[in-house]
Amino acid sequence: MKDNAVTVEFIAIPENEKFARMVAAAFTAPFDPTVEEVTEIKTAVSEAVSNAVIHAYGASGKGLIRMELWSSEKGTVTIVVEDYGIGIEDITAARAPLFTTAAVEERSGMGFAIMESFMDKVVVESEKDKGTRVTLIKTLDLSCGL
Ligand SMILES: Nc1ncnc2c1ncn2[C@@H]1O[C@H](COP(=O)(O)OP(=O)(O)O)[C@@H](O)[C@H]1O
Ligand SMILES: [Mg+2]
């Protein structure tokens, strides 16, 4: 498998969470990942994209999400989900399990915890009123397909 890179940009609406999941699945398919690996990557991507949809653009709800996907020949997949919204003031607090700024009954505050449990590494970078960039990294077990 050669190194690969794909970038897609889409508007921040809930309908595009499914699109983003499908892009992640399609991008990783050539590595012949296990069902579990694909499910984990799709779920992590879903959480990152739904955060951008729900939290980034406030009441206007208008904005773009950029998704960059990279893979190395060794099977390491890097997925960047970026928005240009309100940003996160306190990243450490936001990443803590159960922390949410949304209505409690609406969301559970487990998005970042889910991303962390399903990926090898999660990097969150954010600047107030500039946007947020979540980097999800996972190395697939390439020995499975042999
Ligand atoms: N892309 C984003 N833009 C702005 N704020 C965000 C973004 N992603 C996450 N946040 C903040 O981090 C908090 C925690 O996110 P998360 O763990 O996914 O829980 P939830 O989405 O259920 O609130 C959110 O409530 C929100 O305040
Ligand atoms: Mg969330």
pTM score, two decimals?
0.95
* 2: confidence class by pLDDT, cuts 50, 70, 90: confident
Write the Ramachandran bin of 120: left for phi over 0, alpha for psi from -120 to 50, otherwise beta: alpha
**pLDDT at site 125:** 98
* 143: confidence class by pLDDT, cuts 50, 70, 90: confident
Q: Does the pLDDT of residue 145 top 70, yes or no? A: no
pLDDT digits (tens, 9 = 90+) for 5-41: 999 999 999 999 999 999 999 999 999 999 999 999 9
Structural domains of the chain, with CATH:
4-145 (3.30.565.10)
| DSSP per-residue codes, 72-97 | -TTSEEEEEEEE-SS--S-HHHHHST
Write out the two tokens for 14.
């809930």
CA separation for the pair 31, 63 (Å, rounded): 32
Q: How far is the CA of 95 from the centre of ligand 2 (A)?
A: 10
Catalytically annotated residue among 17, 40, 47, 82: 47
CA separation for the pair 12, 133 (Å, rounded): 14
